[in-house]
A and B are shown apart, each in its own frame.
Chain A
Amino acid sequence: DTGVSQDPRHKITKRGQNVTFRCDPISEHNRLYWYRQTLGQGPEFLTYFQNEAQLEKSRLLSDRFSAERPKGSFSTLEIQRTEQGDSAMYLCASSRLPGQGYEQYFGPGTRLTVT
């Protein structure tokens, strides 16, 4: 399967715990994006990378959230001191560089439940 993959698919954690999610993009894609989606809403942008560089972070992104893409391939999203409001589907997407194609393809998501 050469699509975007995410791990784990589901995560249940207690409030105050830290969680980390992984995303593996399509191999030839330079850009990697993180979005969050709550029930009944469209995906909401969190941050994105071009190769290793984090180019943009949403102003809505709490400082409890951090993302890395250390070798320009897979990425991790960490949430520290989770809160119940963090419960959502966390989606990863990848794309080529703008001059090569704008299409973003999504992974299956990681569903986080904070109890």
Chain B
Amino acid sequence: GENVEQHPSTLSVQEGDSAVIKCTYSDSASNYFPWYKQELGKRPQLIIDIRSNVGEKKDQRIAVTLNKTAKHFSLHITETQPEDSAVYFCAASGGALTFGSGTRLQVQP
């Protein structure tokens, strides 16, 4: 089955800095890679996703890159704000999602 590894597990940045979270996956059949943001006590919220036929996708301050050959994908957040503080999960899918273990991002004002 699919295995997704995510790092770092915690990330602290100053407001306005960039944050990068990286994930690797094992199953070359996976073709869909979403990122979710989860605030304490709340449901995971989809923030951006990428399909395997695309190398990069951007939505305002958030971007995701995918390297299918190396089986890794990354989330980039620019101009971080305190409200970006949350746990971020990457996932890979050929049907059901396999999630990484999460990155706790803390943006210091």
Contacts and interface: CB of A to CB of B under 8 A. Distances in A.
Shortest 8 CB-CB contacts between residues of A and residues of B: A42-B99, A106-B43, A45-B96, A102-B32, A42-B89, A106-B44, A108-B43, A43-B99
Given A42-B99, A104-B97, 20 more contacts: A33-B97, A35-B97, A40-B102, A42-B6, A42-B89, A42-B101, A43-B89, A45-B98, A55-B95, A59-B1, A91-B43, A98-B95, A102-B93, A103-B34, A103-B46, A104-B34, A104-B46, A105-B46, A106-B36, A108-B42
Given A102-B93, A103-B34, A104-B34, A44 B99 contact: yes
B44 A91 contact: yes
Nearest to B36: A106
Contacts of B68: none
A48 B98 CA distance: 13
Interface string B31-54: 010101000001111100101000
Contacts of B93: 102
Interface residues of B, number: 23
Interface residues of A, number: 23
Contacts of B34: 102-104
Interface string A45-70: 10010000001100100000000000
Interface of A: 33, 35, 40-45, 48, 55-56, 59, 91, 93, 98, 102-109
A105 B96 CA distance: 12
Interface of B: 1, 6, 32, 34, 36, 42-46, 49, 51, 89, 91, 93, 95-102
A38 to B, nearest CB: 11
Nearest to B45: A106
A102 B51 contact: yes
Contact of B101 (A41, A59, A102, A107): A41
B3 to A, nearest CB: 12
Nearest to A102: B32
Q: Which of B97, B100, B101 has the most CB of A within 10 A?
A: B97
Nearest to B104: A40
